[in-house]
Structure 1
Amino acid sequence: MHPLRRWWHDSAGGLPATFWYLWAGLLINRAGAFAMLFLPLYLAEARGASTALAGAVVGAYGAGGAAGVLLGGVLADRWGRRATLLAAHLATAGLMVGLAFSRQLAAIAALAALVGVVHSMPSPAFVAAIVDVVPEHRRSCAFNLQFWAFNLGMAVASLLAGLLAEASFLALFLVDAAATLTAAAVIGWKVPETLSRARSAQSPDGHRTAWTGGARRPRRPGLHTALTDRTFLVFVGLTFVLAVLTMQTSTIMPLAMRADGLGPSAYGTVVALGGTLIVLGQLFVPRLVDRHRKGVVLAASTTLLALGFGALAFAGTLPAYLAAAVVWTVGSMLAAPPNAQINADLAPPELRARYQSVFYLAFPAASFVAPALGGLSLQYLGDRHWLIVGALGLLAAGGHLLAGPPRERHVATLRQPKNPLPTPASPR
């Protein structure tokens, strides 16, 4: 096989058509999701909000996101993946139009909170649908492509947002709404409901059953199952630490660069380098990580994140920041496929979206903790803040090494038949 064809087969080949339509919907959605990136600037320049008030409104959006991931997970397991995706996208488009024409800050705050809810609802449904339709041996590739599409879309969104914001804030919201409707059209036209495939693993009455001495005892699992799954929660906790590390890029690093005398353009260069590396290199990641145990890969990736951010304690120039960005970006690239795959492995089929919603809670939580504690740490500890961040990352890397083997045993147990029937006696 030609090397290019082999690379394509390893990176993207053999995936079902439904996955590609989901991928296209995600890419369009992320490429058009730029209005909220400029919400603070819009509030300050167009609506005359103070810095504190603008921060409160953006905080309302974040709080809505935390509620949205849980709601999206529950609905995706009850309504279905396709229905949840369509409802969330259509609601987002309508709320964006409402934001475009709202003038009162109270109304804008309320709409921003609702946008936070519906913006976060699709995440569990997207991932659950991918798990539903992609065979297990190709999921690493699928999740890698999902991460790539997300970052490519965000890179496009960042570019378009700046151009539209200079022309018109009204256009910013309306084009965002139009892109969201386009994503909804792709999903509505080409993506079938995938929940039925997940339910096929259940018993005929729609619930998992346990074998208890020849009698079937129905279980009614729900969101509480994910919230009490210790193996899963350990994994979510380690993911939260990873999210806190990656959030340093958008929350604390700009302040550190400013203290070092580096302006916004320098910060933009560092961010652009990370995005470029992901867009150019992410498709090659599965070939690097698939032959290794997932816990080991996550330990290595978290170590790279720790080293990259820890190195900022000694950085004071743009080249030093760029070199550190290469290290932590490679770490985040390596983490994406195994992180998503472990999440899928730990989730029972009938609770896939609920497990995804609990997993995604780590990110809004990190978006609150990282700036709240990081700002205090940087103010009072200075460059030692980055040493603390690096030490936290190394502890999480050790946690992945310790949690990996028992988690693999737990996954193997989950894959065993749930309803073993007595083996009939052999005829004599």
Structure 2
Amino acid sequence: MRTVRRWAAETAGGLPAGFWYLWTGTLINRIGSFVLILLSVYLTHERHFTPTFAGLVIGLWGAGGALGTLLGGVLADRWGRKPTYLTFLYTSAALMLALGFAQSAPIVAGTVFVLGMAAEGSRPAMSALMIDIVGPHERLRAFSLNYWVINLGFAFSAIAAGALASVDYLLIFIGDAATTAAAATVVAIKVRDTHRSTRAPRPAAPTPAAGSLFSVFTDRVFLGFFACNLLLALVFMQHISTLPLAMAADGLSTGTYGLVIALNGILIVAGQLFVPKLLRHLPRAHALALGAVLVGVGFALTAFAGTAWFYAISVVIWTLGEMADAPSKSALLADLSPSWMRGRYQGASSLAWSMASFGAPIIGAAVQQHLGNATLWLGCLVVSLIVAAGHLLMAPAREHRVVELRAAEAVAPAI
């Protein structure tokens, strides 16, 4: 019992109350994230739109999200973390309801595009707010806990969404809107904004950041991080695009794919809380490199898979890589971001996942069709090894940047 208490204290103890209110808001929001899970099914089966139109609408969500993350990042820095977060979240709730009652194809498409902007636009502000609240040495734990609760909420919402839709599809829109508004209300009441005016004195930071979003993309240290993030995301997103096609080609049903891919969420929920302790004494670059290698090896094994259990082993391996990569990467991005530009850096970083969501299915399907499964999956290993090498090679410049930023901001903190 004493061991359990010690583990709980090491995992979750000592974090600020503001973090836990953000954590609670994330849990509430993710538990009710019904709409995106069933949107394509709703459009084709309930509304009888064509699969092509449904695919276009899902793409519009991603396109809106790419724009929203950049806009949300800028507003988080200029206007404030909390007002940006609340505005986007309450707007998302209203648009969820509107989408549930939308009838014509143009209105559905336009609503989804704006909804994607609002839903994804809240994320940079939320991340920047959490970074402001949690000290540098506790961020790995904080991001691990946040990553864990996102997956826990998603696992619940995936089950609940099907149950609600079986009664009435309108309930998934009402439920999503209600939980989104509830999450915003928790933050509105319990979390104070951490952002001061951009007119506040700024330290002489060692980045080229002059305050604009464009300046983020002239930061060479960040661009190296962004490139690694994008390449690994292109590999990781194959699990929802080409992996089901590979399993189908081996005669496995969609139900089997669902069971195999469910291992990803189960492992994260069961094991993510142990990750901070395992990674605590591992240099950050080594943790990121290890994560990339495991992701690559896991997907490479798919080239040799032909049975459900073999596919399951590959999922377990790349999930372990994801668990090492995600919190370490989030903590690194937090440390590489000047405090007065955290929103912009979070938004710019999220763009990598938006790009991967669009590009991974196209690239993966083309390789799979023209060069074969083995080339696709072994290619994933090659890309992942390049990412691992990139993390190791860029580590000195990154850590030098972190030290300089902390020293500069200790003299003249911006927030």
TM over 0.5: yes
**Equivalence for 2:202:** 208
**TM-score, normalised to structure 2's length?**
0.95
Task: State whether residues 310 and 386 of structure 1, in contact with CA within 8 Å, keep that contact through their aligned partners in structure 2.
Answer: yes
Aligned to 1:347: 337
CA contact (8 A) 2:305 2:311 kept: yes
Shift of 1:381: 2.1
**What is the match of residue 5 of structure 1?**
5
Separation (CA, whole Å) in 2 of partners of 1:154 and 1:162: 13
Q: Residue 297 of structure 2 contacts residue 318 of structure 2 at CA under 8 Å; is this kept in 1? A: yes
Secondary structure at 1:311 match in 2? helix
The alignment's C-alpha RMSD in Å is: 1.7
Q: What is the deviation of 1:21?
A: 0.4
CA distance in 2, matches of 1:290, 1:418: 24
Which of 280, 285, 288 is the matching residue for 1:298? 288
Deviation at 1:419, TM superposition (A): 9.8
Higher alpha-carbon Rg:
1
- Structure 2 unaligned spans of 5+: none
Cα distance in 2 between the residues matched to 1:273 and 1:209: 46
1:376-424 superposed Cα distances (whole Å, 9 cap, x missing partner):
1111222221111111111111111111122111221222236989xxx
Q: Distance in 2 between matches of 1:319 and 1:155?
A: 22
Letter of the 1:128 partner, please give it.
A
Partner of 1:72: 72
Matches within 5 A, 1:25-424: 25-196=25-196, 205-208=199-202, 210=204, 220-384=210-374, 385-417=376-408
Classify the secondary structure of the residue corresponding to 1:86: helix
Distance 1:146 1:420, change over 3 A: closer
**Which amino acid is 1:62 matched to?**
G
Per the TM alignment, residue 225 of structure 1 is displaced from its structure 2 partner at its CA by 2.2
Shift in alpha-carbon separation, 1:182–1:418, aligned structure 2, 3 A? closer
349-358 or 75-84: bigger deviation: 75-84
The 1-side partners of 2:246 and 2:322 are apart by: 21
Partner of residue 18, structure 2: 18
TM-score (norm 1): 0.92
Q: Distance in 2 between matches of 1:220 and 1:233?
A: 16
Aligned residues: 408
d(CA) in 1 for partners of 2:157, 2:382? 33
Tell me if the contact between 2:148 and 2:268 (Cα under 8 Å) persists in the aligned partners.
yes
Q: Distance in 1 between matches of 2:351 and 2:156?
A: 25
Contact 2:233–2:352 (8 Å) recurs in 1: yes
Deviation track 1:314-346 (CA, whole Å, cap 9, x = no partner) reads 001000010111100000001122101110011
Q: Is the 8 A contact 1:90 1:180 kept in 2?
A: yes
In structure 2, what is the Cα distance between the partners aligned to 1:393 and 1:172?
37
Query: Residue 407 of structure 2: SS of its match in structure 1?
Result: coil
Deviation at 1:246, TM superposition (A): 1.7
Quote the Cα distance in structure 2 between the aligned partners of 1:98 and 1:349.
Answer: 36
CA distance in 2, matches of 1:134, 1:420: 19
In the aligned structure 1, how far is the partner of 2:216 from the partner of 2:164? 41
CA distance in 2, matches of 1:246, 1:188: 35
Deviations 1:23-53 (A, max 9, x none): 0111111111121111111111122211111
When residues 363 and 419 of structure 1 are mapped into structure 2, their CA distance, relative to the original with a 3 A threshold, is: closer
Cα deviation for residue 57 of structure 1 reads 1.1
CA contact (8 A) 1:155 1:275 kept: yes
Q: Distance in 2 between matches of 1:420 and 1:136?
A: 16
